[in-house]
Structure 1
Amino acid sequence: MNLELQNIQFFLENSFQTNPITQLRIVHVGGTNGKGSVCSLISSVLYNSGYKVGTFNSPHFIEPRDAIRINNNQISYKDHIRIRKDILEKTKKIQLDQENNQKMSTSFSLSNFETSFAEMLIWFVENKVDIAVLEVGVGGRRDATNVFDYKYSLQPDSNSNFQIESNNDFSRNSLVQCICSIGPDHFGLIGNSLAEIAVEKMGIARHNSVLIVGQQAEESVLSTINEQAKNLVNKTVIDASKGWELLKNDQDLCLNNQSICSSSSSNPKLKISINPQYLFNDKKFSDSFFLQKLCSTDSFIPSTFDVLPLVLNGSYQAQNAAIAFYALLSLSVFHNFNKITLESIEKGYLNTRWPGRLTWIQLSSKLDNDCHTKNAKIINFPSSDLINSSEIIILVDGAHNPPAASELKKYVDYTQNEINKKSENVTLNRKRWIVGFTAGKNIKEIFSILWEFGSNDELWIVPFNQPEEMPWINSMDPNSIRDTLLLLHKNNLERNQNELGFNAEKDTSVGNSSRSVPNIKVFNNISDILKELFQSKEKHEDGFLNIVCGSLYLVSDLFRELDIEIWKDFVDTKKVLNLK
């Protein structure tokens, strides 16, 4: 994978009368974990505020078109083919011109991601979106999405001599940038340490702009962010790790906000300060600046805190919601998006969807002739009665790195505890991990987080299909995954023997830790997994929580196999703004 901006910049500058990046205003979201959730929250609120909003995610989920959406309606097949043909013709023209002028020794081309990015730009400009919310593909500094306002971008070296035209110039294209949690991912490609990766991620920051920074688990990352942010000129850097708390007591919530209590009492809520805290505040905003500005628009009620619903599963979503909240307030305060109100933020948060991330799926109890289940659907948190029924319940999550695995494990433990606590007839005391990984992932660390050595859990391993338009992605060999867990299990047994002074393989006095071999099965494809799940249900092998994880591409295979249309009926298409 070649991460450079020259080709996409050259294409955009030489293929259009007006460069499309000058015709869009964007919110740019980077980091490692949480990018997609933050994008979905911001987009949902903007749509519920009455704006025409484009959203671009990376990677695509089921097929390339679903990464490009306006008001969560993905680009039509007709427009997709039309624009792709146009991009191909423009690319061929550049190649011919270079051939004739002998300007380049190698033929010009766009990567698949650059082509998808260009397609998004053209479609969004054609349909005159009010704003676009863009998720970084890989890294940040050299990612194709980073072409907006590039002259204002933060480079790895010092930019202390950067000159701005006006301290009050907030009229450029990259309006707000967000940095979510940064963790170990793409080692070797965007950096060889967390600090180097953080430098690359911070490349989306802009001088004289607003940067929202989320909570960071590693001190080296936070230190790097601070060092990089110091180089920004006339900066406003909001610390979204502070100023909020996660509320779970419904009685307290009703006292804070009756409408939220009545509308979504089963979900946790976020209590958040309307006045943000800053990492850097070069413009010397007062502590109450945001509140004063918002109250003056008549869109906001005078209140120091707001309480917002969290419908995306996982306690970590509170941090993502805080990042999105301050990005939305910044759009209102600095860029006159005055239709954003506390009411529209609440409505947008309530209507946010982000499929494939801590998502529950309910499958019917029978298979049709093609081995597809009937009436497969996405559901909310399953009741104990549903768990105890003949239906198959699966928790799916795209967790593919250690930080995401940690959050998944927390949620799985919480789920088992909640269901077991509320039902006398159901006991979920075993986990069935259904996994597939991208080649090159650190599965030793992921297994050390997810797998409980000595348990009666099961591990089902399956490869995923080659993702469309992503030839650099390969599924890890299932046998390699199995061998890794077996080796970790062996090491764990030896460690127990050394520490406890007995042979854990033979000593039955240590309970379940005497299991010498984990219960592992290897499958050819996701269809075989589904067949086995139904056979297991028919045999009344209860007590399992089924979890599909390890790769978003594996989750995509499951959705595709079950014919789940992720954006169907997301909004009433008759009420959606007219799309070309």
Structure 2
Amino acid sequence: MSIDLSLDRIKLLLAHLPVYNRPTIHIAGTNGKGSVSALVSSILSAAGLNIGRFNSPHLVAVRDGISIRGAPISEEEYAAARAEVERVDKDCGAGVSSFEVLTATALLAFQRAQLDVVVLEVGLGGRLDATNAIPDDCVLVSALTAVDLDHQAFLGNTVEAIAREKTSIARSGRPFVVGPQKHASVIDVAQAVVADAGADCILASPALARDWDDAVDGPHADPSTFSAPPPQPVSVSVSGFSSSVPAQLPLFGTHQLDNLGTATAIISTLLSHPSCVSRLALRDTLSPAIVSQGIKSTRWPGRLSYHKLSANKLPGLTADMNILVDGAHNAASATTLSDYIERILAAHPEAPIAFILALSHSPPKTPSETLSALFAFARMNSTKTRVSVAGTGFSSVEGMPWVKPVLPSDITSTAREILPDVDVWTAPDGKPEHLGEALRWASQQAKDGLVVVAGSLYLVADFYRLLGDDTTNPL
């Protein structure tokens, strides 16, 4: 795999570009950093701030990873910033990678837009990630979301080693928020790294689930079995507010309580830490109502997102399909998806479920590790939910030519090793044009049930491309 982690190239490039000085929230983690960045951006946007956001990988097109004032960067702004980055790279001889070009393009675009705050998601790891080349002075808050095993070839073979790499975005004199963790050792490592960096460590707590309250949340409508449920009613604590804030969380899964807790801890830190208060006057604009509105307005497609596929949208379909789309790509995120599926199937244990799966080839991660976690719900389901699996591939990823799909036959053979009675369909190769065929097959396998598209955000992107841009809007 062609990845050379280093800050030398990007620092040389940035030294020849306009100085980046936007107040920045820098977020690392294995899982959840995209959700946290979306939540934080939405809350701050609701408060009237002009927000930039950088997420990777992009979903449908490379531009959608760079958001300015709540929308993907325009083609004109992107082209102009990228052209300047590439010209400067050539002139100074930095020889930056494609991801470093993308990162520098985002930073230049954010600087040109003179945004109030930028929410910057780490690409890979943290210590040597291109986003970590930003100046210390511009960092408002750094944060760490859930850490688990992934990208071991680059970050280390233990969660402790990976946590050390990711926490190393900490900056002296700045606050560092540590989100809830499955592995207690991650918190120990994070606290030590943050202390060594001279930063201030803040431990976040999960948001609290609460019962639906018609007086607060409005009438409660129960959806049909496999359509999008209503938002999760939650309660969050924010520094300076006299009581907890009731809100509706449109991101599904109990793991999103952890992510929301991390996001609101970042907001609380912006409101209370001296280094943040001196740079952002949020106290007068951020009210409980604004926080609640920002949470409810959050959109993060491709992560436990529900979509209705109309029969007339894809030739060969005989009925509308309810589809759950999720970018779960490692054992930890697959476990989260499996837990969610187990909960929604609890009331209808005999409903069929069909998966359309693609996986990235990323040793030492194996298909067995991810799929064993994903199919845990079926192994524990005594009523024998009928499970079907379609194995396919995904499109080549713009700017990341080293990303390759696992062979579809490896996916379906692994599925059969885990679930011997599973029905399978295997794409003849890893090309994306087989997705439509997989959807048609899945619609027959899971009539009156659930179809799940998962295993890779790159497959999720192909799903959105196949069905049109409007499909990225969750139900």
Query: What's the TM-score, normalizing by structure 2?
Result: 0.88
Q: Which residue of 1 aligns with 2:307?
A: 361
Cα distance change on mapping 1:62 and 1:428 into 2, 3 Å: farther
Letter in 1 for 2:405: S
Selected match of 1:467 from 397, 416, 427: 397
CA distance in 2 between partners of 1:124 and 1:236 (Å)? 27
Per-residue Cα deviation, 1:195-225 (whole angstroms, up to 9, x for no partner) = 1101000011122111111111113322212
Q: Report matched runs for 1:248-263 at 5 Å.
A: 249-250=211-212, 253=213, 258-261=215-218
Confirm whether residue 128 of structure 1 aligns to residue 126 of structure 2.
no
Q: Residue 28 of structure 1: SS of its match in structure 2?
A: strand
Kept in 2, the 8 Å contact 1:526–1:561? The answer is: no
Query: 1:238 maps to what in 2?
Result: 202
Structure 1 counterpart of 2:34, one-letter code: G
The match for 1:352 is 298
Q: Where do 1:553-568 residues align within 5 Å?
A: 553-565=458-470
Map 1:80-229 to 2 at 5 A. Answer: 80-95=78-93, 108-150=94-136, 172-229=137-194
Match of 1:4 in 2: 6
Equivalent positions of 1:287-302 (< 5 A) are 290-291=239-240
**CA–CA distance in 1 between the matches of 2:254 and 2:30?**
17
5+ unaligned residues in a row in structure 1: which ranges?
96-107, 151-171, 275-289, 292-299, 374-388, 421-426, 490-515, 570-580
Give the whole-Å Cα distance in 2 for the aligned partners of 1:536 and 1:488.
19
Q: How many Å apart are 1:121 and its aligned residue?
A: 1.3
TM-aligned CA distance change 1:209 to 1:531, over 3 Å: same
Following the alignment from structure 2 to structure 1, what is the Cα–Cα distance between the partners of residues 31 and 41? 18
Bigger mean CA deviation after superposition, 407-416 or 4-13 = 407-416
Q: Match of 1:337, as an amino acid? A: L
* 2:46 corresponding residue in structure 1: 48
1:125–1:567 CA distance, 2 compared to 1 (3 A): farther
Identity of aligned residues (%): 29
Aligned CA-pair RMSD: 2.6
Query: Partner letter of residue 3 of structure 1?
Result: L
Residues 278-314 of structure 1, C-alpha deviation per residue, up to 9 Å, x if partnerless?
Answer: xxxxxxxxxxxx43xxxxxxxx5xx232222211111
Report if the CA contact (8 A) 1:35-1:180 is conserved: yes
Native 8 Å contact 1:213 1:241 kept in 2? no
Residues 245, 25 of structure 1: alpha-carbon distance in 2 compared, 3 angstrom cutoff: same
| Contact 1:328-1:340 at 8 Å conserved across structures | no
Which residue matches 2:267?
328
Looking at structure 2, the residues matched to 517 and 313 of structure 1 have their Cα atoms a distance apart, in angstroms, of 30
> What is the aligned length?
449
Cα 1:273–1:444 shift into 2, 3 Å = same
Provide the C-alpha distance between the structure 2 equivalents of 1:536 and 1:357, rounded to a whole number of angstroms: 20
* Matched letter for residue 393 of structure 1: N
SS of 1:204's partner is: coil
Q: Secondary structure at the match of 1:188?
A: helix
> Which residue number corresponds to residue 430 of structure 1?
352
Q: Is residue 520 of structure 1 aligned with residue 424 of structure 2?
A: yes
Cα distance change on mapping 1:238 and 1:54 into 2, 3 Å: same
Distance 1:361 1:237, change over 3 A: same
Query: In the superposition, relative to structure 1, how do residues 481 and 343 fare at CA in structure 2: closer, same or farther (>3 Å)?
Result: same
Superposed CA offset, 1:107-132 (max 9, x none): x3111111111111111111110110
1:154-174 deviations in whole A, cap 9, x for unaligned?
A: xxxxxxxxxxxxxxxxxx310
Q: Secondary structure at the match of 2:468?
A: coil
Secondary structure (helix, strand or coil) at the match of 1:2 reads coil
SS at match of 2:323: strand
Q: Is the 8 A contact 2:160 2:189 kept in 1?
A: yes
2:250 equivalent in structure 1 = 311
Name the residue aligned to 1:482. Answer: 412
Question: For residues 123 and 360 of structure 1, what CA distance do their matches in structure 2 show?
Answer: 32
Alpha-carbon distance, 1:176 to partner: 0.6
In 2, Cα distance between equivalents of 1:211 and 1:260: 33
List runs of 5+ in structure 2 lacking aligned partners: 223-229
Q: Distance in 2 between matches of 1:541 and 1:216?
A: 35
Higher mean displacement: 442-451 or 342-351: 442-451
Distance 1:261 1:239 in 2: 33
Equivalent position of 2:328 in the other structure = 399
C-alpha contact (below 8 Å) 1:213/1:237 kept by paired residues: yes
Structure 2 distance, partners of 1:238, 1:412, is 32
Distance 2:22 2:236 in 1: 30
CA distance in 2, matches of 1:532, 1:194: 35
What is the distance in 2 between the residues matched to 1:541 and 1:332? Answer: 49
SS of 1:124's equivalent in the other structure is: helix
Kept in 2, the 8 Å contact 1:26–1:175? The answer is: yes
Secondary structure of 2:154's counterpart equals: coil
Larger radius of gyration: 1
Contact persistence 1:428–1:543 (CA under 8 A)? no
Quick one: structure 1 residues 134 and 541, their matched pair in 2 at CA, closer, same or farther if it must change by over 3 Å?
A: closer
- Counterpart residue identity of residue 235, structure 2: K
Corresponding residue of 1:73:
71
CA contact (8 A) 1:73 1:567 kept: no
Q: Distance in 2 between matches of 1:263 and 1:7?
A: 54
Are the counterparts in 2 of residues 58 and 67 from structure 1 also a CA contact under 8 Å? yes
Code of the residue aligned with 1:474 in structure 2: it is: K
Instruction: Please report the TM-score for the alignment, with normalisation by the length of structure 1.
Output: 0.72
Q: Distance in 2 between matches of 1:526 and 1:414?
A: 31
Q: What's the offset of the Cα at 1:527?
A: 4.5
Distance 1:304 1:92 in 2: 55
